[in-house]
Amino acid sequence: MFRSVSKFSVPRGSAKVFFFRPFNMRGLTVDALNPAILNVQYAVRGELAIKAEEYRVQLKTNTAHGLPFNKIISSNIGNPQQTGLDQPPITFNRQVAALMEWPALAELARDAFPEDVIARAKELQSEIGTIGAYSHSQGVPFIRKNVARFIEERDGYPSNPNHVFLTAGASAGVTLLLTMLISNPKSGILIPIPQYPLYTATLAAHSGLGIPYHLDEEADWATSAPEIEAAIAKAVAEGIEPKALVVINPGNPTGAVLDEATMEQLVHLCAQHNLVLLADEVYQSNLHARATHPFTSFKKVVRALGSAVPLVSFHSISKGVTGECGRRGGYFECANIDEDIIALVYKMVSVGLCPPLAGQVGVDCMVRSPRPGDASYALWKTETDATHAALEQRTKTMAARLNALPGVSCVDSPGALYLFPRIRLPTAAIEAARKAGKEPDTFYALELLDDTGICVVSGSGFGQKEGQYHYRLTCLCPGVEEYVGALERFHRKFMERYGA
């Protein structure tokens, strides 16, 4: 009837306590879980990233590792401060964070902190108290006021701090909004293809339906209102109820930056089809061609048009020049959303108590960076200029080198942190991939990893047109020469091996 006593069941020094497990107990099995979980896919940390991690351990623990490379290049993830990518944190942000963690430092190491940092930390301490306490569920009111001021200065239109919600990164806000909008099994959310897989993963987990609309690679990954209209018509014909339009601007993985005329069309389209506009603007300060491709927020366009379209815009401290992914900070702003719905959003965030205080402080530093005349301004400017310049230079160099390769075309992205080159794979490579049970671009990316230690994400993880193959790589890696050189050598070898 009972299985033998588990070998872990007798605590040391105790001969008397026994725990029994019934023989017929199966324990927790996969089929007992919410089946929706099984449909969730998140390629950014999928098969390739897992294999790269195994290689990383092998390189670290085994000097005779036998691998044809000596390091892993993490080009799969937009995690700027990750070891190997090494984007330096902004000194001002870290100094404020340090004083928030341990206020006594201001006295103990007075010379280490410029005056404006000490003043900022004191101000935040008086508003927050200790960061070890829960805050208001919507986020510290003072920080929300600062976010609202940042939005007003950016757009030239008022922002209501009561309609700003601080979050644990943009992901938390996106997940909340998507789950609130999926009201029945026929609820559909329009998502760009290719897309950042947070969207498909969240929809899968909460049994919502993605309505894909394709971005136009031939037109530098442009977003097309007629393409979205066609996607809506198809979905409606299939009995799906479109609830919201997701736009990622600047785009991930494409790096495309929307122009205002297209944004206006999208706002009109949302009005016409009664859609909530979900604007993912986490890359708004990652711009590599500001003169030709400036960033305009959807909030500004909605207000300039005098539109009543419900809009939720997301921002984050994970990207931009801040790059504080691990701190988990972000916010979303609701515009044209009724108070009864704001109250429900508040009810839902209050279930989670509050966003991390360290992340909220990070948001405050992002929206209130040092200004000319402040003691920290010169260093802040030098640091942020260097990060912008490195990203711009790497993006351009990599795009040019990729475009020079046979069978590769790559839109030179004006924004975000990535390139999304298209690879035209030889038939023999596609057949070899199918034989190996892999998507052809995953097969290519796995061979790239095995050969060079470069970890990218295959295009199938983001969605792409049938029969097309891509991969996404970040432009954050230092040492572009070495890195792109290895990529080029691999590509030529791969194409030769499969008879291109």
Which chain residues interact with ligand PLP by CB under 6 A?
A: 78, 169-171, 196, 198, 248, 252, 280, 282, 316, 318, 325, 330
| Least Cβ distance, residue 66 to ligand PLP (angstroms) | 34
Q: Which residue is nearest to ligand PLP (CB)?
A: 169
| Least Cβ distance, residue 406 to ligand PLP (angstroms) | 30
| Least Cβ distance, residue 44 to ligand PLP (angstroms) | 7
Specify the residue, 140 or 247, whose C-beta has the smaller distance to ligand PLP.
Answer: 247
**Phi then psi dihedrals of residue 428, to 5 deg:** -65, -35
- Record the tokens describing residue 126, joined without a space: 């008086």
| Least Cβ distance, residue 279 to ligand PLP (angstroms) | 11
Specify the residue, 252 or 296, whose C-beta has the smaller distance to ligand PLP.
Answer: 252
| Least Cβ distance, residue 439 to ligand PLP (angstroms) | 21
Measured distance CA(19)–CA(92) in Å, rounded: 54
Specify the residue, 55 or 332, whose C-beta has the smaller distance to ligand PLP.
Answer: 332
| Least Cβ distance, residue 166 to ligand PLP (angstroms) | 12
| Least Cβ distance, residue 374 to ligand PLP (angstroms) | 26
| Least Cβ distance, residue 250 to ligand PLP (angstroms) | 9
Measured distance CA(354)–CA(348) in Å, rounded: 11
Specify the residue, 198 or 270, whose C-beta has the smaller distance to ligand PLP.
Answer: 198
Partners of 313 in the beta sheet?
A: 279, 333
Specify the residue, 151 or 408, whose C-beta has the smaller distance to ligand PLP.
Answer: 151
Specify the residue, 114 or 323, whose C-beta has the smaller distance to ligand PLP.
Answer: 323
| Least Cβ distance, residue 369 to ligand PLP (angstroms) | 18
| Least Cβ distance, residue 324 to ligand PLP (angstroms) | 9
Specify the residue, 194 or 440, whose C-beta has the smaller distance to ligand PLP.
Answer: 194
State the sign of the Cα–Cα–Cα–Cα dihedral 432, 434, 435, 438.
Answer: positive
Specify the residue, 328 or 401, whose C-beta has the smaller distance to ligand PLP.
Answer: 328
Full 3-state SS string of the chain = CECCCCCCCCCCCCCCCCCCCECCCCCCCHHHCCHHHHHCCCHHHCHHHHHHHHHHHHHHHCCCCCCCCCCCEECCCCCCCCCCCCCCCCHHHHHHHHHHHCCCHHHHCHHHCCHHHHHHHHHHHHHHCCCCCCCCCCCCHHHHHHHHHHHHHHHCCCCCHHHEEEECHHHHHHHHHHHHHCCCCCEEEEEEECCCCHHHHHHHHCCCEEEEEECEHHHCCECCHHHHHHHHHHHHHCCCEEEEEEEECCCCCCCCCCCHHHHHHHHHHHHHHCCEEEEECCCCCCECCCCCCCCCCHHHHHHHHCCCCCEEEEEECCCCCCCCHHHCCEEEEEECCCHHHHHHHHHHHHHCCCCCHHHHHHHHHHHCCCCCCCCCHHHHHHHHHHHHHHHHHHHHHHHHHHHCCCCEECCCCCECCEECCEECCCHHHHHHHHHCCCCHHHHHHHHHHHHHCEECEEHHHCCCCCCCCEEEEECCCCCHHHHHHHHHHHHHHHHHHCCC
Specify the residue, 316 or 376, whose C-beta has the smaller distance to ligand PLP.
Answer: 316
Measured distance CA(230)–CA(225) in Å, rounded: 9
| Least Cβ distance, residue 78 to ligand PLP (angstroms) | 5
Specify the residue, 281 or 447, whose C-beta has the smaller distance to ligand PLP.
Answer: 281
Specify the residue, 314 or 444, whose C-beta has the smaller distance to ligand PLP.
Answer: 314
Closest listed residue to residue 171, CA positions, set 217, 207, 205: 205
| Least Cβ distance, residue 201 to ligand PLP (angstroms) | 11
What CA dihedral angle connects 265, 269, 270 and 274, to 10 degrees?
Answer: 160
Specify the residue, 282 or 423, whose C-beta has the smaller distance to ligand PLP.
Answer: 282
Measured distance CA(301)–CA(313) in Å, rounded: 12
| Least Cβ distance, residue 248 to ligand PLP (angstroms) | 5
Specify the residue, 408 or 411, whose C-beta has the smaller distance to ligand PLP.
Answer: 411
